[in-house]
A and B are shown apart, each in its own frame.
Chain A
Amino acid sequence: MSYCVNCGVELQKSEPRCPLCGTEVINPNELKEEKPIRPYPAHVEHLDKNIDRRYIASFVSLLLLIPLFTAMLANILVSKQLTWSYLVLGGELVLFTVFLLPMIARMPKILYAVIDASAVSVLLLLIRVLTQSSWRWFLLLGLPITLLTTVMCWFFAMMTLPKCKIPVLIRFTFALTCIGLLVVAIDFFISLYKNAIAWPTWSLYVLFPCLVLASSLLILNRRARVKEELKKRFYF
């Protein structure tokens, strides 16, 4: 009969050391005794290794090079120079930064948003250069809409974090208001691009329902009983 000097519990004879603290068991009276049967066999059933997302993402990134090189080769063979294949490069760059980069590299979340926005801007820039169109649409339409959408996506991502303390209904209120305002902003930039008066027109059809829904949610949020009922009803 051995006791752990550290924990005060009695140890089964099969225990070579205390399973609670790791202290080795040496009982001078039981040194010559036969090795007792262990309560469990020695064979360990191993689990599958966890999926290495980083490895898979790196592998898919390499695979992306195949369509890129194929496109470039076809481009050179046909046009004798690289032209439209830059669009494939831009498209794959966006694909890589949005889906694969978060799996490969760990960095502050804000950096992902900055990199994604930059990748989309590069794609738009490539389109502008290759189509030899004016800078106007890029500066007045492409770039501002990209930046605004990125900021909004960042805002939504922040609100879905578990740390976010804002009540759910208020979060939806913010989200709806933001969607409405983004549509108005898009309308504004399109009007600006067309040299028209920058006054929202069609976007108001989106903005008003969004604002009405958002204010309804705001009102609902003030009624504890209704809020509780909604939580219950929409629980799935």
Chain B
Amino acid sequence: MSKNKKPTKWMKLDNAALIYPATMNRNWTALFRLSATLTEPIDEDILEVAQKRTLRRLPWFAYRLKHGLFWFYLEHSDDLPKIEKDVANPCVRMRLNENDGFCMRVRYYQNRIAVEFFHVLTDGTGGQVFLQTLVAEYLRLKYSVNIPRGDKILDCSEEPKPEEAEDSFAVYSGKITQTRKEVKAYHINGTDERNGFVHIITGSMNADDVLAKAREKSVSVTEYLTAALILSVDAIQRRKVPSIHKYKPVKLSVPINLRNVFPSKTLRNFANYVNPGIDPRLGEYTFDETLNIVHHTMAMEVTKKLLNVKITTNVRSERNTVLRLTPLFIKNMALKYVYSQVGDVLSSTTISNLGVARLPEEMAQYVRRMDFILGPLADNRVCCAALTYHNRLRINFTRTIAEPWLEREFFTRLVKLGIPVKVESNQRE
């Protein structure tokens, strides 16, 4: 797309996004949410203008999901999504017809701006660029502050760049594929929450404390948290399942940002998953043993070559002629079946760590806090997401069952490991 040309009016879903519209239903959409809490209450009018300018720079987020004969596709809209007031249960399913067909929604409450994205559009990294650009634009309009722009905070006076909308899976796929077959994992079950209330419990801690603990064991923060979470799920299984012979593996799905491995500038989905875990039937694992397993699984699987094989497997399935020629309604059924076999079922829960959000000083003085929340998953009833900002690591647990077993097990474990945790939640009074 050359300069001055309007953005493409429609685009195909990227390879990772294909599964989400097929698996969505009237009560569940694959969502995630990023939010920034500012120092002053939000002005809705200014936010609306900021959103308009951000969408002009990032038109990839103003696309509507449409049905084709063979595939879903995204169609650009010149309209703007409505700014909404926030609700008590974030990431509750997105009704596309009520949202004017848009796959994202901007919500505000007190000092907080939150953007909820349907996964067909983007992943956490792309979402973070959108939120940071939106907040920068809001602050510029409200306080006339001059915020330096770059890769993470885009300049809204610039034209959109085509590489930002690239399907990088197709670009970086290779020749060799592998089977997706894996052993199914243990799932935490509990009492269904009436009306589908989504519980959020946020645990915040000093990021330096966690980093120091992780360094002590020569692992990364993500690996440290993953090991603690694996043992927390393991403890729940040991309490709930009476016989050792009925224990299932405890595995966690850890999303990997492929932009760190492949030189992509895309703002659409470009992530893959690694599922490190333990087999509790073999005995009780110590924290150090679990850390060791997680660390080495990650080291072994997060390599350019192995990730390339995983990407290729997915891209090959998409290019299968029979699948391509199958009408969408049949394809949806097939994809639903595939997801039931190789989706959430392979992991006990998900832990997504977006890393550290760094804002320029001009902007950081107005932004008090940033959060990352995963929407409820299809089969797993609890999942969590982490983001560090201003030296506070915030881990947000999302739960669709009444019992906070995993959160309690995890946060008390961190306290026992010597990391003080402060919690807050969306519990009803």
Contact = CB atoms under 8 A, between A and B. Distances in A.
Interface of A: 7-12, 14-21, 37-48, 50, 228, 231-232, 235-236
B85 A10 contact: no
Contacts of B420: 10
A62 B299 CA distance: 62
A8 B412 contact: yes
Contact of B427 (A10, A15, A232): A15
Contact of A45 (B87, B178, B407, B423): B87
Contact of B85 (A9, A19, A43): A43
Contact of B179 (A42, A231, A236): A231
A4 B424 CA distance: 12
A46 B195 contact: yes
A48 B421 contact: no
B177 A232 contact: yes
Interface in B393-416: 404, 407-408, 411-412, 415-416
A7 B421 CA distance: 10
A228 B179 contact: yes
B93 A47 contact: yes
B181 A231 contact: yes
Nearest to A13: B424
Given A7-B412, A40-B426, A42-B88, A236 B27 contact: no
Interface stretch (B11-19, B64-72, B150-158, B199-207): B199-207
A13 to B, nearest CB: 9
A47 B423 contact: no
A11 B423 contact: yes
A45 to B, nearest CB: 4
Contacts of B85: 41, 43
A18 B322 CA distance: 54
A203 to B, nearest CB: 32
Interface of B: 26-27, 85-90, 92-93, 109-110, 177-181, 195-197, 200-203, 317, 320, 322-323, 334, 338, 404, 407-408, 411-412, 415-416, 420-429
A38 B110 CA distance: 10
Contact of A9 (B88, B90, B93, B421): B421
A47 B201 CA distance: 20
Given A19-B427, A20-B408, A41-B87, A8 B415 contact: yes
A56 to B, nearest CB: 15
Contacts of A37: 110
B423 A20 contact: yes
B429 A47 contact: no
Contact of A39 (B178, B203, B424): B424
Contacts of B195: 44, 46-47
Q: Shortest 8 CB-CB distances between A and B: which pairs?
A: A47-B196, A12-B424, A19-B425, A20-B408, A40-B426, A10-B422, A45-B87, A8-B415
A40 B317 contact: no
A15 B203 CA distance: 13
Nearest to B425: A19
A21 B86 CA distance: 26
Nearest to B197: A44
A235 B180 contact: yes
Contacts of B109: 40-41
A46 B195 CA distance: 6
A17 B423 CA distance: 11
A19 B407 contact: yes
Given A9-B415, A17-B427, A47-B196, 11 more contacts: A7-B412, A9-B411, A9-B421, A41-B87, A45-B87, A47-B92, A47-B195, A232-B178, A235-B179, A235-B338, A236-B320
A17 B428 CA distance: 10
A48 B180 CA distance: 34
A15 B425 contact: yes
Contacts of B92: 45, 47
A12 B196 contact: no
A214 to B, nearest CB: 24
A9 B89 contact: no
A136 to B, nearest CB: 44
